[in-house]
């Protein structure tokens, strides 16, 4: 029996019988994200028998691209970027229902053509289709696309039924509070909140979802998860890469916008939120918003809560790496930070007095994303730090990437006739326990949006609350220009001004 015959997808069965027949329309379908992530995600969902049995894919963009050419490009994208090799039997089922519509993003007539195209697919199938719009264009055209989805009637199609239209919106979600509010206003003009899926692909990562399981499916953490036992929390999102050829984009963004305001704050919210009353999207997101609202405004004074820096020349992997100001497309006087560190105070019952330290940078010593929860030290009556007693604070760290897993630092006795101690590490690695072929974040997110589960997406008020916290920082930095900008050698763990943020509380950054 061929795999085609064995594979239940090919028999039109889906593990998610609840997913209505669906057409995904990708705006910006000729782009990088579509090729690298979205097409491979759709293919792998098909491979895993997770697409609805009646599934269509429509690419949309400004260039005239014949269906056959779009199909070829999509097939090449799978060959190049999918975590699994191309299985023609599986892909054939999708690709033969793949088409392309050309049109402008601000052209109402083109959206009427798109609506007619979708109606044509429904007519041929003889059934209604749920439409999932995926806006994968630069943010400058988010608003015209949304407005045209409204005026063409596509946004409100089947509203009130389970197969109503849905929209996924890529990041960045605004560049400050005003732009995020404006975008939310446009969205709300056209869609109801339950139809909207604002993406932060970090939430699709296995280890981020595991954070909820570790916190709420294990009894040993909950009693310790508060200010009595936790000394501090450090969240690191470190990249080895510099800006590469994306200097023009990065100059408008910087570390605070690119990483801290969105991904890192999602990690803060999931680490620190109260247990939700259920795992429903609204209950989880209510708790996240409550937590974000409890964060105190940041002190922007000289020894305040924020630090920023740019990478200078240094060594990466034994090779000389240029500083940010010498990179292609970068203004030599640039005041864009490639590193930001923040000290957060959460003013609620659980966390008062426990600093949350966040840092994110490019050209750092190692690519790593982790959440490290550092516990208070026990009283030193029996074992106090000395030459014999090498002791480290107990630290529970969630490795989000690249080596997904969980580790706990404990202190143990070194074997021998005299009592000496040394920190030891207990490790759980996803790849060792479950194998390494875990789904990509975009697979989970596309599937959840099709099913209508918004738990792993950002709600409008969540995005606004986070921007409210960081917009004053962005404004203060813009006003200060390069004043207060520190630097760090490429390949290092960051600048001195970020060390000073922790030193004020006698803390130091971990070297993950």
Active site residues: 263
* Residue placing its CB nearer to ligand NAP in the complex, 272 or 463: 463
Q: In what order do the strands lie in the sheet with 306-312?
A: 420-429, 405-414, 395-401, 368-375, 230-238, 356-361, 339-344, 306-312, 486-489
Angstrom distance (rounded) from CA 503 to CA 510? 13
CB of 117 to ligand NAP, least distance (A): 16
30 binds ligand NAP (CB under 6 A): yes
* Residue placing its CB nearer to ligand NAP in the complex, 101 or 307: 101
Choices 154-162, 167-175, 286-294, 379-387; region in contact with ligand NAP by CB under 6 A? 167-175
* Residue placing its CB nearer to ligand NAP in the complex, 28 or 355: 28
CB 270 within 8 A of CB 208: yes
For ligand NAP, the binding residue among 131, 137, 165, 262 (CB under 6 A) is: 137
* Residue placing its CB nearer to ligand NAP in the complex, 249 or 434: 249
Angstrom distance (rounded) from CA 271 to CA 255? 21
For ligand NAP, the binding residue among 141, 300, 335, 392 (CB under 6 A) is: 141
Choices 68-76, 111-119, 170-178, 341-349; region in contact with ligand NAP by CB under 6 A? 170-178
For ligand NAP, the binding residue among 164, 171, 205, 359 (CB under 6 A) is: 171
254 binds ligand NAP (CB under 6 A): no
Strands 306-312, 486-489: pairing is: parallel
Q: Which of residues 54-113 bind ligand NAP (CB under 6 A)?
A: 61-63, 105
Q: What are phi and psi of 396, to 5 degrees?
A: -105, 120
170 binds ligand NAP (CB under 6 A): yes
* Residue placing its CB nearer to ligand NAP in the complex, 172 or 494: 172
* Residue placing its CB nearer to ligand NAP in the complex, 170 or 239: 170
136 binds ligand NAP (CB under 6 A): yes
Q: Report whether the peptide linkage leading into residue 510 is cis, meaning its omega lies within 30 degrees of zero.
A: no
For ligand NAP, the binding residue among 2, 5, 17, 32 (CB under 6 A) is: 32
CB of 145 to ligand NAP, least distance (A): 9
28 binds ligand NAP (CB under 6 A): yes
Q: What are phi and psi of 166, to 5 degrees?
A: -135, 155
DSSP letter string over 69-125?
A: HHHHHHHHHHHHH-SS---HHHHHHHHTTEEEEE--TT-HHHHHHHHHHHHHHHHHH
For ligand NAP, the binding residue among 21, 31, 304, 322 (CB under 6 A) is: 31
Choices 8-16, 40-48, 124-132, 135-143; region in contact with ligand NAP by CB under 6 A? 135-143
Choices 72-80, 165-173, 340-348, 489-497; region in contact with ligand NAP by CB under 6 A? 165-173
Find the residue with minimal CB distance to ligand NAP: 31
421 binds ligand NAP (CB under 6 A): no
Rg (alpha carbons) of the chain, rounded to whole number: 25
Q: How far is CA 217 from the centre of its chain?
A: 23
140 binds ligand NAP (CB under 6 A): yes
Q: Give the CA-trace dihedral at 178, 180, 183, 187, to 10 degrees.
A: -130
CB 338 within 8 A of CB 258: no
CB of 242 to ligand NAP, least distance (A): 16
Angstrom distance (rounded) from CA 319 to CA 197? 42
CB 230 within 8 A of CB 377: no
179 binds ligand NAP (CB under 6 A): no
* Residue placing its CB nearer to ligand NAP in the complex, 253 or 421: 253
CB of 338 to ligand NAP, least distance (A): 18
DSSP letter string over 312-329?
A: ESEEETTEEE--GGGSTT
CB of 252 to ligand NAP, least distance (A): 11
Q: Which helix (H) or strand (E) holds 473?
A: helix 460-480
Q: Report whether the peptide linkage leading into residue 487 is cis, meaning its omega lies within 30 degrees of zero.
A: no
* Residue placing its CB nearer to ligand NAP in the complex, 56 or 105: 105
For ligand NAP, the binding residue among 4, 21, 33, 128 (CB under 6 A) is: 33
62 token code pair: 């400004």
Write down the number of H helices and E strands in the chain: 17, 17
Angstrom distance (rounded) from CA 25 to CA 44? 17
Positions that interact with ligand NAP (CB under 6 A): 28, 30-34, 36, 61-63, 105, 136-141, 170-172
């Amino acid at each position: 029996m061929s795999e085609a015959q064995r594979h239940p997808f090919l028999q039109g069965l889906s593990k998610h019988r609840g997913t209505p027949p669906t057409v995904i329309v990708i705006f910006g379908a000729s782009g990088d994200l579509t090729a690298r992530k979205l097409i491979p995600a759709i293919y792998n969902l098909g491979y895993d028998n997770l697409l609805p049995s009646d599934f269509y894919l429509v690419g949309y963009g400004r260039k005239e691209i014949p269906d056959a050419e779009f199909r070829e490009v999509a097939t090449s994208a799978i060959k190049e970027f999918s975590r699994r090799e191309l299985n023609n039997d599986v892909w054939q089922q999708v690709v033969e229902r793949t088409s392309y519509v050309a049109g402008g993003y601000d052209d109402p007539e083109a959206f009427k053509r798109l609506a007619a195209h979708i109606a044509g697919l429904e007519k041929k199938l003889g059934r209604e289709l749920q439409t999932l719009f995926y806006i994968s264009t630069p943010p400058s055209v988010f608003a015209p696309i949304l407005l045209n989805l409204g005026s063409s009637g596509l946004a409100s199609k089947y509203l009130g039924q389970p197969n109503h239209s849905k929209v996924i919106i890529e990041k960045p979600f605004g560049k400050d509070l005003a732009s995020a509010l404006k975008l939310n206003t446009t969205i709300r003009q056209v869609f109801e909140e339950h139809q909207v899926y604002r993406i932060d692909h970090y939430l699709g990562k296995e280890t981020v979802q595991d954070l909820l399981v570790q916190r709420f499916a294990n009894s040993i953490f909950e009693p310790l998860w508060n200010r009595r036992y936790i000394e501090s929390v450090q969240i690191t999102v470190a990249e080895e890469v510099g800006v590469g050829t994306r200097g023009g984009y990065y100059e408008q963004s910087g570390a605070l916008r690119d990483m801290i305001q969105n991904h890192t704050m999602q990690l803060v919210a999931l680490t620190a939120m109260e247990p939700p009353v259920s795992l429903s999207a609204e209950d989880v997101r209510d708790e996240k918003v409550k937590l974000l609202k409890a964060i105190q405004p940041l002190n922007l004074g000289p020894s305040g809560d924020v630090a920023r820096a740019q990478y200078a020349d240094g060594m990466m992997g034994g090779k000389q790496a240029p500083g940010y100001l010498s990179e292609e497309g970068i203004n030599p006087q640039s005041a864009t930070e490639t590193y930001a560190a923040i000290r957060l105070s959460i003013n609620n019952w659980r966390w008062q007095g426990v600093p949350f330290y966040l840092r994110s940078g490019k050209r750092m010593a190692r690519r790593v994303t982790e959440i490290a929860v550092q516990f208070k030290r026990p009283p030193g009556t029996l074992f106090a730090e000395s030459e014999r007693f090498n002791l480290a604070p107990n630290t529970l760290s969630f490795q989000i990437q690249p080596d997904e897993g969980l580790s706990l630092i404990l202190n143990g006795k070194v074997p021998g006739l005299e009592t000496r101690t040394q920190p030891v590490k207990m490790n759980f690695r996803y790849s060792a326990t479950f194998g390494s072929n875990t789904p990509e974040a975009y697979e989970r997110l596309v599937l959840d949006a099709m099913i209508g589960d918004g738990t792993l997406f950002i709600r409008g008020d969540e995005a606004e609350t986070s921007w409210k916290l960081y917009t004053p920082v962005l404004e203060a930095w813009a006003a200060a220009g390069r004043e207060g900008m520190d630097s760090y050698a490429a390949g290092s763990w960051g600048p001195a001004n970020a060390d000073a943020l922790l030193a004020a509380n006698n803390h130091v950054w971990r070297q993950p």
